[in-house]
Each structure stands twice: as structure tokens, then as C-alpha cells.
Chains A and B, each alone.
Chain A
Amino acid sequence: MDFSKINWKKAAITAGIPLVILIFLGLWPTIGPQYWVTLFSYFLLYIIISVSWTIFSGATGYISLASAAFYGIGIYAAALFREQFAANLPLIVVVLIGGLASFVLAFIVGAITLRLKGIYFAMFTFGLVLLLKEVIYYWEIQFNDLRGRFVAPESNDTIYYYLLGIFVITMIVAYLIRRSKYGLALQIIGENEEAAAHTGINVTMVKVLTYAVSAIFIGAAGVIMATKLTYVDPGVAFSPMMSFSPVLMAIFGGMGSIYGPVIGAVIFTYIEEILKTGSMKNYYMLIFGVILIGVILYLPNGIVGSIQNLWKRISGARRAHTRG
């Protein structure tokens, strides 16, 4: 048997391709034009958010609409600790604070919403985004007499490399969770939660912890994006679009593999960029809605899933007789 040969090839591909991509992404700001560097930071941002979302929701089937809450928490961490014209904490520390704050928030949300059925969980998490927005608006106007805050800006390259760093960690964590028995436990919870509990999985712990871990990256990305926005208010920070985009991107790309959300994020960010800058500006949200419904109706397995199915059909016809 030549298993060793196949494994070696596979190992080279699984380690080699990401390494090549990483080197390319690392050099990109020095070789790419400015416009494309900025666009690539958005690619990275949405990949981080949709992959993080898929870590928990893709596996368990619990639709979390709280991404915007974690993102907003990150943005407000930057607004508080990286204020413009003020003595500030180092950026890396604020990124950690943003990630940690999101972790804590997700942990609390996860712990108190465990008993809820799937659809209630979706509503609860969406309500959380709007609640945070309203309360922070109220707080800022009432006690601080301001609507928004200014954040110390960073250079495009700094933003890019920070996002690249968060992206790498997100991908590694997503990959490790998928490959571990943790990921397996998540899959079983998604298939049948009761059965999972009976097989000895600590359902509560697995769910809450994974959810909290997945929120870290969204919060950290929020901190970095705040330095790009430079002016933030609750409306910007807690925009519901940040909750829906990852869902759409992940479903569109396909949640069955780790590449699905990545592909979905890149395609959608690019479509958004074209629509928003072109003559179709006013129709952007309209088209977004049409694509959302279209994807749910016709691409429930996403692009990656559909291609895999197609490939199986083509290659399956050839191999059918050998497999019996």
C-alpha cells in the first residue's frame, strides 16, 4: 500500500499552500497597489468574522446574530483606550482588551441563553446588538454629552498587518477546533443535542466555551477597524449588517469546510465594493436581499458544497462500479 506517499503529499499540500498564501499576504503591502491593499484588509476583516462565526454557528446550527455586538465592543474598546489626542495604551494591548471583552460578553450570553431553542437564540443575540446600541447612545448623550468618539488613526499598513495577524490566529484556531475532539463534539451537538449529552459530552461547557472563543477574534478585529474609521458612534459600531454579513458569507461559501466561509467572504466583499462604488450604490441593500434569499433557496450547501456535490457526481459515475 502506498498510504505513506499519499499522506506525505497531503501533508505537503495542507502545510504548503497556506504557507505560500501567507508569504504572499505578508508581502502584499510592499508589492500591491494601495487600493488593493485596502481592499485586502477588508477581505481579511470579513474572513475573520465569517470564519469565527462558522466556528460555533456552522457546527452547532445555532444562528448567532451577535457578531455586531462583539465587533462593536471591540470598536468601543478602541474608542476608550485609543482616543485621539490622548495618552493611550499600546495598540496591541487594546486589541487584547477588545478580544477579552468580547470573550466575556459571549461567555455571559452563552451561559444565560443555553436553555433557549435555536430560533430564540437567534432573536436574543440580535436583540443584544440593538440593546447595546440603544443603551450606549443613551449613556453617551446623558452622561458624557457626546454622540460619537474619535479614535487615533493608524497607517494602512499597520491595520493590514494587525488584521493579517488576527486572521492567521483565527484560521489556526478554527482548524484546530475542527480537527480536535472538541470539533467533533460540536458536530454531534449540531446533529442531535440530546444524543450528544448522552454520549458523555459536556454540552453546556462545549457550547459556551466555543462561542466565547469565537467571539475573541471579532472583538479584536473591531479594535483595528475603529482605528480605520477614526470616528465611531453606536450606530456605526453596532450596525446590524455586521451580524448578517458573516451568516450570508458563510452560507454562500459553504459551511462544510474551512475554505467555504473564506471564499464566501472574499466574493461578497468584492461584490460589495463594486456595488457601493459604482452606479448601483442605491441598490446595494436591495441586491443584498435578493442574493440572501437566492442563496438560501438555491445554494443551501454553499459554493464549496455545491462544487463538491458536482465533483462527486462526475467522479462518482466513474468509480461507481469499484465501490460496489
Chain B
Amino acid sequence: MDLIINIVLGGLLIGGIYSLISMGLSLQYGVAKVLNIAHGEFLMVGAFITYWLQQNGVDPLLTIVVGGPLLFLVGFILYRTVFTSIRLKAPNTGVYESNSLLAAFGLYFIVQNIAVLIWGTTPQRFSYLASSVTILGEDFNENRLVATAFAVAIGAAFYLFLERTRIGKAIRAAAQDPLTAGLMGVDINFVLALCFGFGAAMAGLAGVLISICYPITTTMGLGYTVIAIVVVTLGGLGSIPGSFIGGFILGIIGTGVTYWEPGLAVASYYVIFIILLLVRPKGIMGK
């Protein structure tokens, strides 16, 4: 019983961060139709900006205010330059999707190698809110609780933004049918760039939260991208609540498998991914 509580709580505590990354990818993939394999690299950049600022005496949680908007801008500009051009040149959606996937791989190589040139490949970590807290008889670090709380708050705020604002409505319309949304007066290039920017910002914020809990390396990005892809498939393409819930589910599964056999944690994600694609490619919340 203790074991189950430990696994579930541990899973929920990492699940919040997974949710945040996956919501970001869901926007990029579900709405902007870019399967951004470089998603995890934005996360890594967010984490290393936090590390760098922390070494210069800035409180890590303050980085959220800097890192989020900065990565949003990077994502927005990237979409306006690279991906818009690919989209306009592609004869159909299929070509656009595969070309943008390949461009995203190019981006992945570029960002990761620049990061390696700047920060090297040795794992870095700093101590922040490292005192331990007891929940239901299990000990957890305070920083993990803070990170999960922030992840949930950011996720909820973004959900409200999508549901309640005019731009949110435009994004949802673009997710359903970009062409019709464009006909209804939505500036589609702007909205898709916005989605890509928000996706990058969410990855960056997740990176900030990861850096206060776990050691970070410049090569960690792809692992998180894979997690995000699995969660997005699990939750249903383009479904923000699906990604949110899916993050926690995968967090619990991952923690369970890691407890049983750490060498197979990553393999278990692929198995889940493959089974999902075969059995229910639409995901749990997909329409």
C-alpha cells in the first residue's frame, strides 16, 4: 500500500511538468500542425537560462517571468519565418506536415549543438527549496511540490485563456479547420504563429520548473519531446484537457515502471505509444 501511494504521489508530482510540456506540443502539433521534435530543446534552453541566472543570483522562480516571454518570442518568430514559408509552399497538408517535421529536426540539431558549445555536456544542478515535506507518510522535496503547483496553475490559466478570450476562440477555431477559420476573418498565419510561440513558451516554463527539481543536461531535450509526443497521442491530438490529464497518467505509469525496472522506463513509453497508435490513435479525449 505504501508503495502504491509512493508511486501515485511521485507520478503526480512529475505529471504536472509532463502536462505542461504536452500542452505546449499539443498547440504546436494539434493546431499549427508542426510535429516539433525540437520541443524538448526549448525546454532545455529554459532550464539552462534558469541555471545561468541562478548562478548570477536571480531567484529561479523569477525566471518564469523572463524565460516564458523570451521563448514565446523565439517560437513566434520561428513560425513566421521558417514554418509559414513551408506551409505556403506545400501543395497539401501532408507535404507541409512532413516538411515541417524535417525542418524541426534541423532545428533540433541546431539548438542542441549551440547549447552543447555554450554549456558543454556535463549535468548541472543547483539546490533550491531542497527541504523535504511529508505527505501521507512519504517524503518529497519541497521544490517538486512548488514546481507541480506552478505547472498546474500555468496549465489552468492557459485553459481559461483558450476558453474565455477572443484570441483563444480563434485558436480553437484554427484547430478545428484552419481554412474555414481563415474565411471567418481569423488571421490564420498570426494565430498559428501564436500557437507555436505559446508552445515554445510552455516548454520553456516546464524547463524552468525542471531545473529547480532535477539535474539538467544539454542533451535531455529529446527524452522530454518523446514524453510529450506520447502524452499528446494519449490525450488526443489538439485536446488541451486531454494533454493535461494525460501528463499525470504517464507520470504515474513512468514512476511505476521506474520503480520496478529503471532500464525499461523509456521503452515503456514507446510501448504505450505504439499500442495507442494501433488501438486508439485518437487518444482518450480525442473526437
Contacts and interface: CB of A to CB of B under 8 A. Distances in A.
The 8 A-B residue pairs whose C-beta atoms are closest, nearest first, are A289-B109, A292-B106, A289-B110, A293-B106, A131-B270, A286-B113, A134-B267, A289-B106
Nearest to B262: A138
Contacts of B277: 113, 116, 120, 123-124
Contacts of A116: 277, 281
A113 B107 CA distance: 27
B113 A289 contact: yes
B153 to A, nearest CB: 30
21 contacts: A63-B98, A63-B102, A116-B277, A119-B98, A122-B35, A130-B226, A130-B266, A131-B267, A131-B271, A135-B267, A138-B261, A138-B264, A282-B113, A282-B117, A283-B117, A286-B109, A288-B106, A289-B107, A289-B108, A293-B82, A296-B99
Interface in A228-248: 244, 247-248
Given A296-B102, A300-B89, A127 B109 contact: no
Nearest to B104: A293
Contacts of A63: 98, 101-102
Interface in A121-147: 122-124, 127-128, 130-131, 134-135, 137-138, 141-142
B42 to A, nearest CB: 15
Interface in B83-116: 85-86, 89, 94-95, 97-99, 101-103, 105-110, 112-114
Chain B interface size band reads 35 or more
Interface of A: 61, 63, 112-113, 115-116, 118-120, 122-124, 127-128, 130-131, 134-135, 137-138, 141-142, 244, 247-248, 251, 282-283, 285-286, 288-293, 296-297, 300
A247 B261 CA distance: 35
A61 B99 CA distance: 11
Contacts of A251: 102
B113 A285 contact: yes
Contacts of B274: 124, 127-128, 131
B109 A142 contact: no
Contact of A296 (B86, B270, B271): B86
B102 A247 contact: yes
A21 B86 CA distance: 37
B263 A283 contact: no
Contact of A293 (B95, B97, B103): B103
B173 interface: no
Contacts of B113: 282-283, 285-286, 289
B229 interface: yes
Interface string B256-287: 00000101101100110110011001000000
Nearest to A113: B277
A141 B102 contact: no
B110 A290 contact: yes
A296 B106 contact: yes
B263 to A, nearest CB: 5
Nearest to A116: B277
Nearest to A112: B278
A244 B263 contact: no
Interface of B: 35, 82, 85-86, 89, 94-95, 97-99, 101-103, 105-110, 112-114, 117, 226, 229, 261, 263-264, 266-267, 270-271, 273-274, 277-278, 281
B282 to A, nearest CB: 11
B86 A297 contact: yes
Contacts of A112: 278
SS of A interface (majority)? helix
B107 to A, nearest CB: 7
A16 B243 CA distance: 59
A134 B97 contact: no
A134 B105 contact: no
Contacts of B89: 300
Contacts of A286: 109-110, 113-114, 117
Contacts of B110: 286, 289-290, 293
B39 to A, nearest CB: 13
Contact of B98 (A113, A118, A135): A118
A244 B105 CA distance: 9
A122 B109 contact: no
Contacts of A289: 105-110, 113
A127 B117 contact: no
A291 B89 CA distance: 18
Given A128-B270, A134-B267, A289-B109, 5 more contacts: A123-B277, A127-B226, A138-B263, A292-B109, A296-B102
Nearest to B100: A296
Contacts of A282: 113, 117
A293 B106 CA distance: 6
